[in-house]
Structure 1
């Protein structure tokens, strides 16, 4: 939903005159000035002080506008790819001129002029019932406007929107990787889970250090890295998320000083840590799990995908991509985008849409039964060992900047400017998400809240009062084996080539193709791609055999062995997990 007001600063992007930088794409800075005679910037910049003073609603609206804006040359969209180009789908690390692609600290692009150019795949209006039999709208938004269509924003991307990346700037096609565009629904809930799990893991680390520091020299203490009662199982019971174990040893000399007694020292052993970096910080975003918070996600995408560089990364009055424009995105712009990402509605299910009358006539009982059976089979074959049905939050408050010191810039931004105070803008994921509030067109009573996250409201089940993040994930990395292993370890040398974050399956019924590179056109393919046949040739890779079946091999094998009826039930379950957002 896009409101009609804007409360933004004046445009601050400036044309950089003189030298090669001004000649990057147009012939000179004079050409950009000439364009400005008859054309206008498209961006409406967010002002940080104004956003902080007005809070979540304004920040979300400014972010919404920025997300949908098709930027132009006067805004600074694109970059000096080289050869006079502004956009490219092919990384060009071979172009090493003073202001060309290889000098811009990028892995891809620029490849689009707006965020929603790529994030555009979700449920369509013909899958729901927005009009009655007389053609009249059945529903209204909270602001009273009739709902006549579904939004085309914040969705996943089809294969044509895949990003080809050269993370190490090799200019070697064999070292490129491809990334499918993910959807952006529910990001605030995922970040909050990552923050709380990180706090749990840091607590375990501190405890094992205390154990060792209180022990005799030479004694090693070990603790399991658990985030207790974090995941809800199919029977409603709770289980921990486990990230391996961590050990600390009291040593006579060397090592690190004990926090409680600086005369004692210890060493820390993180070799048994699983699914997270050795620093025990859960970074839930991107396929490799290398981005920890929405702001880092948006400013990275602004640069790599759009060529819209943020002053907080590249500096004030700096043209870092050779397009003749500086100050392309302000600190306020990135605050607005971070809040907008954090405030996205949660994915829903077709059962939920049917139960509130948005799918009419209602789903037949036979289809609901298939979805229920499919969920059970999905659990029975072991898929929920990673794709947890739901993760629980103790505190649903989303803060920008985050209250977690591990999920924000601390003190200064990368370019040196002061970071706003933690919690400068806050909102509640269970009450404040404004989108997908559905009202009756005739009587203006609320039909459904399909935006805010739900709470566990069953007194008879554990976790009462906790916020449910029904993401079908576990915020961990897992080894998927040889079949999906890439030529490089993108993101970090410590993340193996076949290791990826568990993809959250909420919305999977709206987001084909699947997997990190979009290789799977159907859900069934995606499951089968989770393993390979040991010592047998890998498809399409002459001379390369399967040497590692991956952690999901048993589940993929069980899926392959299912009868057609149970395969169909799992497909019904997957197709029921959808992205729904009203215009």
Structure 2
């Protein structure tokens, strides 16, 4: 059994997890990071008070506008996810394309509240290549322009991805064992939570045929974050973004142990972000409540939304935008079981910290099925799909593949919160829900065509329904 940090030990925890910074903690200090969170003080299941204290530290780091006193900037390093040096420092610190492009995480994630999405003006740019140098062009030949997704319900999304990954890997394990025992090929469907990820064939000699896998990487790890579905965890997302957007480098990827340097980016600051600081930011993001469903004051709107939800399902939208997925456990371990190299991993710590989302007020209102599983109302399927074709190509407007994912393939966007996060599309260049539905091609083409063929009343009803899926400020507690 994992140790429980109780309320009685909360005061001791608060002291244990904070390490002193180098700057005086005066009210006019221009530092955001005035003390670090000690990762060694985070192990086992935190009780509610301890979890709230940690997430408050994470919110402080998420909303704080980092300054040069914190170590903002990376004069001799690039935005690449693998630590990569520059030959010469740039003339200016900020660059709209390759970054740095913001002082705070909340600079982009703020619609309608902190932790939300971003408008077109906050778009970011992603270059391909694990060791790419800086680039200075917004031309789509050199970078992909992306809107910022909201983070509400992100902990639930990662937990779903972990459970699906475990299911798919168990199917792989059993297929290999059965093929070896039976002396013949075994072909099995890869399915979890009602979502099909194609087929896998195992041979008696241990060879796997993965050519029929769909919507997930060949290692069967569901990567639920980013619009291409290439980020495994909130931890990976956070470490990447801190360096790319702020020039704040975490020890777990850029520190002495991994780069051989105390100051990899050459800004005369080491220990900019420690492992415990990343954990605090993960705790804040993982505990953000999921978006809700607004009940309109207008009887006409309520009636239209009810009809719209039925039409939404009848024309096939729920094939990808599944209203809910079942989740067995609300215990969020950090670091997680599938975290990638370049982030803190379970083998690097005495025991992961566990954030029990069931301790939070919002979790008590989530519906459950007859098995007791939480029904996460995400309106998504945690799977990649081809979303553009030669006739309807709007959503395939990128010229560069990312992490070996084809240019027209994207993760299904979860629709919870969609009523609060316009504009739409991967680069925030579609101004209406009607417009982004009409832009669906590829595997969504037939559903899109059925939508267009609907009478005006039914199309308007679908929009009325989608506009009730909102992020409500009063939920942020």
TM over 0.5: yes
Q: 1:300 aligns with which of 240, 252, 260?
A: 240
> How many angstroms apart in 2 are the aligned matches of 1:175 and 1:335?
33
Residues 314 and 415, structure 1, Cα contact 8 Å, conserved in 2: no
| Preserved CA contact (<8 Å) 1:78 1:111 | no
Is residue 579 from structure 1 mapped to residue 463 from structure 2 by the alignment?
no
Which residue in the other structure is 1:489 paired with?
401
Q: Give the structure with the larger helix fraction.
A: 2
Pick one of 207, 218, 221 that aligns with 1:278.
218
- Residue 249 of structure 2: aligned partner: 309
- Kindly state the Cα deviation for residue 194 of structure 1 after the two structures are TM-superposed: 0.4
Deviation of 1:224 (Å) = 0.3
Match of 1:372 among 306, 311, 333: 306
Q: Is the 8 A contact 1:100 1:321 kept in 2?
A: no
Query: Are 1:206 and 2:201 counterparts?
Result: no
What corresponds to 1:565 in structure 2?
A: 457
Kindly state the Cα deviation for residue 52 of structure 1 after the two structures are TM-superposed.
4.4
Structure 1 residue 489 displacement after superposition:
0.7
User: How many residues were matched structurally?
Assistant: 431
Counterparts in 2 of 1:244 and 1:107: CA distance versus 1, 3 Å: farther
Residues 143-162 of structure 1: per-residue CA shift (max 9 Å, x gap): xxxxxxxxx31010000000
Does residue 1:73 correspond to 2:68, yes or no? yes
Out of 417, 420, 423, the position equivalent to 2:349 is 420
Q: CA deviation at 1:12?
A: 5.5
Unaligned runs of 5+ in 1: 14-35, 89-94, 123-151, 231-239, 251-264, 355-362, 434-448, 532-549
Task: Identify if the C-alpha distance between structure 1 residues 75 and 211 changes in structure 2 by more than 3 Å, giving closer, same or farther.
Answer: same
Residue of structure 2 equivalent to 1:63: 58
Instruction: Give 1:415 shift.
Output: 8.6
> 1:469, 1:338 → 2: CA distance?
20
Match of 2:66, SS? coil
2:33 paired residue among 35, 43, 51: 43
Cα drift, residue 266 of structure 1: 2.3
CA contact (8 A) 2:76 2:264 kept: no
The aligned counterpart of 2:150 is 183
1:302-325 deviations in Å (ceiling 9; x for gaps): 111111110111014632333332
Q: 1:10 aligns with which of 13, 20, 24?
A: 20
Check the 8 A contact 2:327/2:374 in 1, yes or no. Answer: yes
What's the offset of the Cα at 1:77?
A: 1.5
- 1:97-118: CA deviations, max 9, x gaps? 34459xxxx9831111111111
Specify whether residues 107 and 274 from structure 1 end up closer, same or farther in structure 2 by C-alpha distance, changes over 3 A only: farther
Q: What is the CA-CA distance between 1:379 and the residue it aligns to?
A: 0.9
RMSD of equivalent CA atoms: 3.0
For 2:196 and 2:146, how far apart are their aligned partners in 1?
Answer: 28
Closer, same or farther: CA 565–432 of 1 in aligned 2, 3 Å: same
After TM superposition, give the deviation of residue 395 of structure 1 in Å.
Answer: 1.3
Which portions of structure 1, spanning 4 or more consecutive aligned residues, are displaced by more than 6 angstroms?
Answer: 415-418
Q: 1:245 aligns with which of 195, 199, 204?
A: 199
1:521 aligns to what? 431
SS in 2 for 1:97: coil
Give me the whole-angstrom Cα distance separating, in 1, the residues matched to 2:279 and 2:65. Answer: 19
Q: Partner of 1:9: helix, strand, or coil?
A: strand
* Deviation for aligned residue 1:183: 0.4
Distance 1:383 1:422, change over 3 A: farther
